[in-house]
Amino acid sequence: MRYLFDHWDKVSSKIKKSPRIFLFFDYDGTLTPIVSTPEKAKLPSKVKKSIKRLIKSPKFRVAIISGRSLRDVKRMVGLKGIIYAGNHGLEIAKPRKALKNSPLKTICIALKSGLGHIKGIRVENKGCTLSVHFRLVRPKHRILVKKIFYRTLRPYICSKSAKVSSGKMVLEVRPAIDWHKGKAVLHIIKKKKTLPIYLGDDVTDIDAFRAIKGKGISIFVGGPKKNIKADYYLKDTFDVKKFIERLLLL
């Protein structure tokens, strides 16, 4: 994985030659720094203004694909003229019909019952997916959180009625359907003469990196990691801000 700004001439040349650019951003950890609780992850005003300027250009289209619910990510960003996808792409404008029989409500009740005694835990039902945030849990109790989580989910995993994943201090439950951020990206892109550029900071973004391999530019936010296969990396959200500002100069 190469540092993007060390290869800016090559990257910018590719962007300039493409008639249409589709920019995909994850939200938490990409456009805004990771914070102690999700509601504190405010989009910096300068980043918001820069994205607003990008939207006005006929060359760029912008989409934000987040693990948050669709309603939540739209509220946090608050910009018109871009595509929003919530719950890792399960919600694009409206929830997918395949989610009607999801057991998430039952799972949510069970997890709140099993984890409720642990200080700092937060169980968030996002409609299409469910997240267990344990960033505020004492380190010595985090193993217990995971133990209770997987014990609770075991029957659902075995019956293939739900699947689980993990991220930065979060455990997630999703419907057992073949859908992820990568498929959401390909679903959103319709024109063949479009260069997709995807920026993300977590393992949930790997599917999107794979989806655009050989078709676009994948950028991991957070420094080089051996288990993350992206074309380039940016160090942090400040680098992302700088990247957007450079796009405006092309």
Residue 170, helix vs strand vs coil = strand
**Of the residues 26, 28, 72, 201, which is catalytic?**
26
Q: How far apart are CA 242 and CA 236, in angstroms?
A: 10
Structure tokens at 247: 């796009």
Q: Let me know if 26 is a catalytic residue.
A: yes
Long-range contacts of 238-245 (CB under 8 A, 24+ apart): 239/4, 239/5, 240/25, 240/30, 240/31, 240/47, 240/199, 241/44, 241/46, 241/47, 241/50, 242/5, 243/4, 243/199, 243/219, 244/47, 244/50, 244/51, 244/54, 245/50
Distance CA 51, CA 84 (A): 13
What's the distance, Cα to Cα, between the start and end of the chain in Å? Answer: 24
- Which residues are known to be catalytic? 26
